[in-house]
Amino acid sequence: MELKVHNIKGKETDRKVKLNKSIFGIEPNDHAIYLDVKQYLANNRKGLHKAKERAEIAGSTRKIKKQKGTGTARAGSIKNPLFRGGGRVFGPRPRSYDQKVNKKVKKLARKSALTYKLKNKEVLILEDFKFSSPKTTDYLNIIKAFGLESKKTLLVTSETDSNIYLSSRNLKNSKVLINSELNTYEITDANNILILESAVEGIETTLK
């Protein structure tokens, strides 16, 4: 399968890029996509929530009233969880939410997500470009040339380019990734994917 290469003004050029059918044209696996996205979101959770328990509360350890004869329940410490300001019973503690997904499943998920995007005509191949300096307006003009300014876009490059990254950083619906960082969540989250011509080979090499 082939896609025409577009320039940054949104016009088709006379060049075409051949896409590997084993990556962009497979039978999609929805469950693999679910597992990979679930892992991505889980691994991004910090898990730093913490509540102080009885032993961690600052307070006196003296017995606050006599054991018997008060007509009320026994109480040995002001840090008792039943009292206001006392420790919490079985409170949350820092933990890791990391999950594991096999490499083959992750590859299958990314191939499936790319296949869906290509079927829905949401993949565009862009000729390589550079910015001499970071400028949001220049990046926005490229997005506008394809009529995507109101949609979530993902630009995939072949290498880290700080000028392109910084130009896109202030745009809420735009994201830039290098091909080795491409993941299922970012693919499915974007409405349209713009892939630089030089990045196609890297994607196919990674997902072979």
User: What is the count of structural domains for the chain?
Assistant: 2
Q: Are residues 156 and 104 in the same domain?
A: yes
Q: Are residues 186 and 134 in the same domain?
A: yes
pLDDT band at residue 188, thresholds of 50, 70 and 90? very high
Q: Are residues 79 and 166 in the same domain?
A: no
Q: What is the pLDDT of residues 93-121, one digit of tens each?
A: 999 999 999 999 999 999 999 999 999 99
pLDDT of amino acid 123: 95
> What is the dihedral sign for C-alpha 137, 143, 145, 147?
negative
pLDDT at position 71 over 90: yes
Look at residues 76, 96, 116 and tell me which one is the last residue of a structural domain. Answer: 96
3-state DSSP call for residue 141? helix
Instruction: Tell me the Ramachandran region of residue 98: left when phi exceeds 0, alpha when psi lies from -120 to 50, beta otherwise.
Output: beta
> What does the block give as tokens for 176?
């830039």
> What does the block give as tokens for 59?
């307070």
Q: Are residues 150 and 190 in the same domain?
A: yes
Instruction: Say which CATH number the domain at 144 has.
Output: 3.40.1370.10
Half-sphere exposure of 118 (CA within 13 A, CB side): 23
Cβ atoms of 108 and 31 closer than 8 Å: no
Strand-strand pairing, 2-6 and 12-18: antiparallel
Look at residues 81, 96, 111 and tell me which one is the last residue of a structural domain. Answer: 96
Q: Are residues 12 and 104 in the same domain?
A: yes
pLDDT of amino acid 2: 87
Decide if 38 is inside a domain.
no
- Cα–Cα distance between 176 and 73 in angstroms, integer? 63
The mean per-residue pLDDT over the stretch 21-36 comes to 95
Q: How far apart are the first and last CA of the chain?
A: 17
Please state whether the predicted TM-score (pTM) of the whole model is above 0.95. Answer: no
pLDDT band at residue 129, thresholds of 50, 70 and 90? very high
Residue 186: partners with Cβ closer than 8 Å, 6 or more residues away: 154, 175, 177
pLDDT at position 1 over 90: no
Q: Are residues 185 and 108 in the same domain?
A: yes
Q: What is the pLDDT of residues 161-180, one digit of tens each?
A: 999 999 999 999 999 999 99
- Cα–Cα distance between 161 and 156 in angstroms, integer? 11
- Cα–Cα distance between 187 and 55 in angstroms, integer? 47
| Buried b / exposed e along 187-198 (16+ C-beta atoms within 10 A) | bbebebbbbbbe
Percentage of the chain with pLDDT > 70? 100
| Domain interval for residue 62 | 46-96
Percentage of the chain with pLDDT > 90? 92
Decide if 18 is inside a domain.
yes
The mean per-residue pLDDT over the stretch 174-198 comes to 95
pLDDT at position 208 over 90: no
pLDDT of amino acid 145: 93
pLDDT of amino acid 103: 95
When the pLDDT of each residue in the chain is averaged and rounded to a whole number, the result is: 93
Q: At residue 200, what are phi and psi to the nearest 5 degrees?
A: -60, -45
pLDDT band at residue 61, thresholds of 50, 70 and 90? confident
Instruction: Compute the chain's Rg from CA coordinates.
Output: 27
